[in-house]
Amino acid sequence: MSHKLTDQKKDELAGIANNIRQSIIEMLLEAGSGHTAGPLGMADVFTTLYFHALKHDPKNPEWEDRDRVVLSNGHICPVLYATMAHAGYFSVEELKTLRKFGSRLQGHPHREYLPMLETSSGPLGSGLSQAVGMAIADRMDHANSSGRFFYCLMSDGELDAGNSWEGAMLAAKERLYNLIAIVDRNNIQIDGFTEDIMPLESLVAKWESWNWHVIEIDGHNFEEINNAINEAKVVFNKPSVILARTIPGKGVREFERKFEWHGKPPGKEEAEMALKELRTFGGKVKSEHE
């Protein structure tokens, strides 16, 4: 179980998340393509996972007892790559190869290119079914529980895809209590606001109707993120879903809450503005791996 967060730990996580956001801007600028809003918005959730909640070992990524992380909405991979780099899985310098020909850091995660990833992702809606399959296989291999948890990171827009709900039904039927879905409820997708494109509410009622344990949180509050993960870990008769309300483009006022930033990178002037704001807001706290 994740320990309660001290004020010192929350400050530490905030500094790391700020570094991750800066890396996201830098790598997108270098690539000249990619997604901005979602990665910035999910930096606090990923920071809490990789620097506090997950059972993992960057020096031994194939560790059998590690928790598993499945990124279903693969287009926000800049935040996954940046978080893993700052956690020590590979060098921060490699982030500058995002989307380059021959790079391990493709525009959507590719398991064969970067072995420390659990899955390849791209088709929206498929990640939850993948995570469900992993959790069922784990139970078959370890009848008395392996003690690991399976985290599936999802977007709200991909809940338009029926495969998401098929996975949700199966997870509930199998009572996969060690499966924790985290939905980025940022209310945008590439064509506009989710409630204009394909209304999703009430998401709480939908997930509860499939017999999931539902937790709603502020996705930028480290204490709420941590408490939600702790709560999910002690639900022993059903899977849990954390609906994390986030601000797309979080940390850069010019980008925040604008669906137009869903799928485009910053240009040079925009990146300089964003980095200046992030450095002014959060300061620069270097990770030991830089």
Residue 122, domain member (yes or no)? yes
The range of the structural domain enclosing residue 51 comes to 7-282
Q: Which of 137, 243, 134, 126 is nearest to 194 (CA)?
A: 243
Tens of pLDDT along 148-162? 999 999 999 999 988
Tens of pLDDT along 148-197? 999 999 999 999 988 999 999 999 999 999 999 999 999 888 888 889 88
Tens of pLDDT along 96-152? 999 999 899 998 999 888 888 999 987 888 999 999 999 999 999 986 677 899 999
Residue 278, domain member (yes or no)? yes
CA–CA–CA angle 7, 9, 10 (5° rounding): 65
- Is pLDDT at 288 greater than 70 in this prediction? no
The CA distance from 65 to 68, in Å, is: 9
Q: What's the DSSP call for residue 179?
A: E
Residue 223, domain member (yes or no)? yes
- Number of domains observed in the structure of the chain: 1
Backbone φ and ψ for 150, nearest 5 degrees, come out as -115, 115
Output 100-104 pairs: Cβ under 8 A, ≥24 positions apart.
100/31
Residue 1, domain member (yes or no)? no
- Is pLDDT at 284 greater than 70 in this prediction? no
CATH value at residue 13? 3.40.50.970
Residue 287, domain member (yes or no)? no
Residue 55, domain member (yes or no)? yes
Tens of pLDDT along 214-272? 999 999 999 999 999 999 999 999 999 999 999 999 999 989 898 887 888 999 999 99
CA–CA–CA angle 266, 268, 272 (5° rounding): 90
Residue 58, domain member (yes or no)? yes
